[in-house]
Amino acid sequence: MLTEQELLATCITTFVAGHETTANLIGTGMLRLLRAPDQIQAMRDRPELTASAPDELLRLEPSVQITTRAATRPITVAGHDFEPGEGVVVLINSANHDERVFPDPDRTNVARYSDPMHPAKKHLGFSLGIHYCLGGPWPCWRWRSCSTCCCAKSVRWGWFRRIHRSSRTWPGSRSIRCCRATGFAV
Ligand code: HEM
């Protein structure tokens, strides 16, 4: 049974973890698409791609840039020995652009995760293992609604285009990636 304080802390954590990351992905994802107009067209031609686009955009623009893990027992990972308590800093964005895992890793390809028979390798945008994002499917759903609206023919992209040209695009943060100028950023 949670105490009132624990319950409150859990609510705050969930809200902050869920809101900031999702809002930021909408901004950075939109900017990514602006820089790849053929991908916007691809989603207009094949609306079902809006289902797989969030995964590709999160791979390219992970809202959370860094996570850490500590060894709980002596372990060797990739030829490096770790004693209990020793840790590593994982650079999520770097891992998501690993050319040994993702062919043509810098290219925006909204169809990358669209084929269930040949799925692309899992990205680290929601992390992995025991701390895997609790709200993983939820932001994708939100993003899908947003991107579907923006890709609809009636929506004008002029506003985003102005942002695309703006020099105030990226704020300086080592751990959180966002695009302030879109207004979708925390
Ligand atoms: C695009 C949106 C989101 C991104 C990119 C994201 C990313 C992440 C990442 C990378 C982690 C793992 C951190 C680690 O390894 O230490 C994480 C954990 C977590 N996320 Fe998300 N998240 C998103 C949305 C959400 C939403 C909507 C919720 C809640 C409804 C949420 C709740 C949490 C919680 C509670 C954890 C901690 C899980 C644990 O440590 O066991 N996240 N998220």
**Reduced 3-state DSSP string for the chain:** CCCHHHHHHHHHHHHHHHHHHHHHHHHHHHHHHHCCHHHHHHHHHCHHHHHCHHHHHHHHCCCECEEEEECCCCEEECCEEECCCCEEEEEHHHHHCCCCCCCCCCCCCCCCCCCCCCCCCCCCCCCCHHHCCCCCHHHHHHHHHHHHHHHCCCCCCHHHHHHHHCCCCCCCCCCECCCHHHCCCC
pLDDT of residue 6: 94
The model's pTM = 0.85
Residue with the smallest CA separation from ligand 1 atom 39 is: 131
pLDDT of residue 79: 93
Expressed in angstroms and rounded, the spacing between residue 141 Cα and the centre of ligand 1 is 14
Ligand 1 centre to CA of 66 (Å) is: 12
* Nearest ligand 1 atom, CA 54: 1
**22-37 residue pLDDT tens:** 888 888 888 888 889 8
Q: Percent of the chain having pLDDT more than 90?
A: 43
Among all chains, which residue has been given the structure tokens 């860094």?
Answer: 66
3-state secondary structure of 165: helix
Which amino acid residue places its CA nearest to atom 27 of ligand 1? 18
Is the CB of residue 127 less than 8 Å from the CB of residue 64?
yes
Rounded Cα distance between 75 and 73, Å, is 6
Q: Say yes or no: CB of residue 175 within 6 Å of ligand 1.
A: no
Cβ of 141 below 6 Å from ligand 1: no
Q: How confident is the model at residue 162 (pLDDT cuts 50, 70, 90)?
A: low
- Domain 16-182, architecture per CATH: Orthogonal Bundle (1.10)
Q: Which two tokens stand for residue 7?
A: 């319950």
Name the residue among 38, 58, 64 with its Cα closest to residue 139.
58
60 Cβ below 6 A of ligand 1: no
More confident residue, 139 or 61: 61
Ligand 1 within 6 A of CB of 127: yes
**Ligand 1: which atom is nearest the Cα of residue 62?**
5
Q: Give the mean model confidence (pLDDT) for residues 167-171.
A: 55
pLDDT at 44: 86
pLDDT, tens digit, 9 for 90 and up, residues 115-136: 989 889 999 999 998 899 988 7
Q: CA–CA separation, 19 vs 26, rounded Å?
A: 11
